[in-house]
Amino acid sequence: MTEETILSPSDFIAPLFVVEGDDAPEPISSMPGVFRLGIKDLVEECRSLFALGVPAVALFPKLADGLKDDRGTRALDPDGLVLRAVKAVKEAVPQIVVMTDIALDPYTTHGHDGVLTAGRDDVANDETVGILTQMAVLHGRAGVDFVAPSDMMDGRVGALRRALDAQDLTRTAIMAYSVKFASAYYGPFRDAVGSAKAAGTHSLDKRTYQINPANRREAMIEAALDEAEGADVLMVKPAGAYLDIIRDLREATRRPLAAYQVSGEYAQLHAAAERGWLDLVKTRRESLLAIKRAGADMILTYFAKEMAAELSL
Ligand code: PBG
């Protein structure tokens, strides 16, 4: 009766990795229990998530190395992997909310989220925004409900909104990775989509476009810009180490707020549990409860399916 925060399956968005072909699901060594799925298995996974009460999925493609180049050209392939995945999922489970990542990192040989400047020491902001708007329009046409720019280029939310509206994609919503820190907790995800391997380093440095983990005020500036540019949902990422930011933003905006419990947060609980040092079932629940208590309305988490199953017992 006095419990203030209650988790529900409808709080979760499940991030899912998709690969070409019908091979058996590929395990990701740094993310126990998470697999890269062919489109058929992906569709089945979406069906079971929806049956468990999880309303949304966020899709991430893993491309073969041979399909990558330094400009991420395949991001604009109208018959690309993720677009085929979206169509298959929407056809099989029309009510599930499908979100796709708008960024170039799964497509570039260097693993950065955009194209690089001539000196190759930074991403070219405006040129990247131009590519991302074309990408968002392709995704909108394929039927995604939310495009989710995770690239952190300046001005991209407004550019995406204008481009979508100009193509009559007024109902394609934007979940903005507004407050995305330059975090070391993304390592396992980079294994999953192959961006670490492409770049030849785990600690791919994205500090010129992602936020300094030391900066609380800057986080609010980034979120306010995305809100003014037309973001429908704002996001804080990672979640667990940034609960203060989630709370700050909850109090600063009336928009729905998402938080992303990232791959490294998932991996650390699994690693400790494997050693018998932490109780996985209890810590995953506590970690998610803390994120919701901090103020998140929805949580992207690799625990979505297991948590939803546990909550519906
Ligand atoms: C990149 C992207 C990243 C994640 C989602 N989109 C990693 C990065 O910025 O390199 C991380 C998610 C996770 O760690 O679970 N566009």
The range of the structural domain enclosing residue 112 comes to 9-311
Can you tell me which residue has the tokens 């899709």?
59
Distance 153 CA to ligand 1 centre (A): 14
Q: Is residue 13 in some structural domain?
A: yes
- What is the per-residue pLDDT across 266-300, written as a single tens digit (0 to 9) for each? 999 999 999 999 999 999 999 999 999 999 999 99
- What is the per-residue pLDDT across 14-25, written as a single tens digit (0 to 9) for each? 999 999 999 999
Shortest-distance Cα residue to atom 11 of ligand 1? 186
Q: Is residue 3 in some structural domain?
A: no
**Ligand 1 in reach of 186 Cβ (< 6 A):** yes
**Ligand 1 in reach of 266 Cβ (< 6 A):** no
Q: Does residue 202 register a pLDDT over 90?
A: no
Q: Is residue 287 in some structural domain?
A: yes
pLDDT of the residue at 128: 97
Q: Is residue 156 in some structural domain?
A: yes
Ramachandran angles phi, psi of 262, nearest 5°: -85, 175
**Residue 292, domain CATH:** 3.20.20.70
**Ligand 1 in reach of 150 Cβ (< 6 A):** yes
- What is the per-residue pLDDT across 29-58, written as a single tens digit (0 to 9) for each? 999 999 999 999 999 999 999 999 999 999
- At 107, the pLDDT band (50, 70, 90 cuts) reads very high
Best probe residue, ligand 1, of 108, 150, 152, 190 (max atoms within 8 Å of C-beta): 150
Structural domain count of the chain? 1
pLDDT of the residue at 205: 85
Q: Is residue 31 in some structural domain?
A: yes
pLDDT of the residue at 220: 97
Ligand 1 atom index nearest CA of 188 = 14
Shortest-distance Cα residue to atom 8 of ligand 1? 186
- At 12, the pLDDT band (50, 70, 90 cuts) reads very high
Average pLDDT over residues 204-233: 95
- At 199, the pLDDT band (50, 70, 90 cuts) reads low
pLDDT of the residue at 125: 95
Shortest-distance Cα residue to atom 2 of ligand 1? 150
Distance 88 CA to ligand 1 centre (A): 24
- Mean pLDDT of all residues belonging to the chain: 95
Q: Does residue 204 register a pLDDT over 80?
A: no
- At 192, the pLDDT band (50, 70, 90 cuts) reads confident
Catalytic residues: 180, 237
CB 55 within 8 A of CB 94: no
Average pLDDT over residues 110-117: 93
pLDDT of the residue at 313: 84
Q: Is residue 248 in some structural domain?
A: yes
Better pLDDT: 81 or 190: 81
Q: For 9-13, 103-107, 117-121, 299-303, which range has the lowest pLDDT when averaged over its residues?
A: 117-121
- At 203, the pLDDT band (50, 70, 90 cuts) reads low
Q: Is residue 4 in some structural domain?
A: no
Model confidence pTM above 0.75: yes
Q: Is residue 1 in some structural domain?
A: no
pLDDT of the residue at 143: 97
